[in-house]
Structure 1
Amino acid sequence: MKSAAAIALLALTTAAPAFAQTAPTTPAAPTAPAATGKFTLDTPIETIVADPKGKAVIDADIPPLTSHPAYDQFKSMSLKALQPLSNGAITDDLLKKVAADLAAIK
């Protein structure tokens, strides 16, 4: 009888890690800034460009951005994060214009 209890106890203790594991979850769907009409200078560039109105703002205000050869390397960055890496091409004044134009998107 003692050996049966020991085996049961052993089975429970070795199975415990399995109980502690959580089932894999699917990632939450990303929030859609376009649905709220809110893009900011902190929004990833690829998120802005995924929206036709956002892309129109970027293409109008910073025309070479989406066609830049390194676009795939920086598209996950925000415009604020990209500014210091732009060698002065993205100025404070340009960011103010982009921010105003993005805020005007309805």
Structure 2
Amino acid sequence: MKTIAIAAALAVAAVSAPAFAQDHANHAPAAAAGKLSVESTPIGEIIKNEKAKEALEKAIPQIPQFYDQIATMTLTQIAPMSQGAIDDAKLKEIQAEFDKL
């Protein structure tokens, strides 16, 4: 039920996002230890870094309300449940911001 609520809320909040591509082969492998990754860093760890949390909330303003439900998941894992709100382009955008930190 929580999954449906998350998906519905993210879908409603999405202004215009292309369908989520299922192929993740083009993503770069997880960064070196200590680096944040949309593929391997749990959201609960991302939000412990204030700058990363700011970047995440800038990219996905509606996400804070779900932190308690998705803290153990990665952004890549929640993307398919977002009904297009978090697509490959959004993941790449967020990863680029993490890489700057």
TM-score, length basis structure 1: 0.59
Kindly report which structure 2 residues correspond to 1:9-88, keeping only aligned pairs within 5 A, or say none. Answer: 36=34, 38-41=35-38, 42-68=40-66, 71-88=67-84
C-alpha deviation, 1:83, in angstroms: 0.5
Q: Secondary structure at the match of 1:84?
A: helix
C-alpha deviation, 1:67, in angstroms: 2.4
Structure number with greater Rg is 1
Partners in 2 of 1:58 and 1:50 — Cα distance? 12
C-alpha deviation, 1:72, in angstroms: 1.4
Partners in 2 of 1:73 and 1:44 — Cα distance? 12
Count of residues in correspondence between the two structures: 68
Query: What is the percent sequence identity of the aligned residues?
Result: 35
Structure with larger RCO (C-alpha < 8 A, sep 6+): 2
Counterpart residue identity of residue 62, structure 1: I
Q: Secondary structure at the match of 1:50?
A: coil
Match of 1:99 among 86, 89, 95: 95
Partners in 2 of 1:49 and 1:43 — Cα distance? 10
C-alpha deviation, 1:76, in angstroms: 1.0
TM-score, length basis structure 2: 0.62
Partners in 1 of 2:54 and 2:75 — Cα distance? 15
Structure 2, unpaired ranges of 5+: 1-32
Q: Secondary structure at the match of 2:47?
A: helix
Greater per-residue helix proportion: 1
Structure 1, unpaired ranges of 5+: 1-34
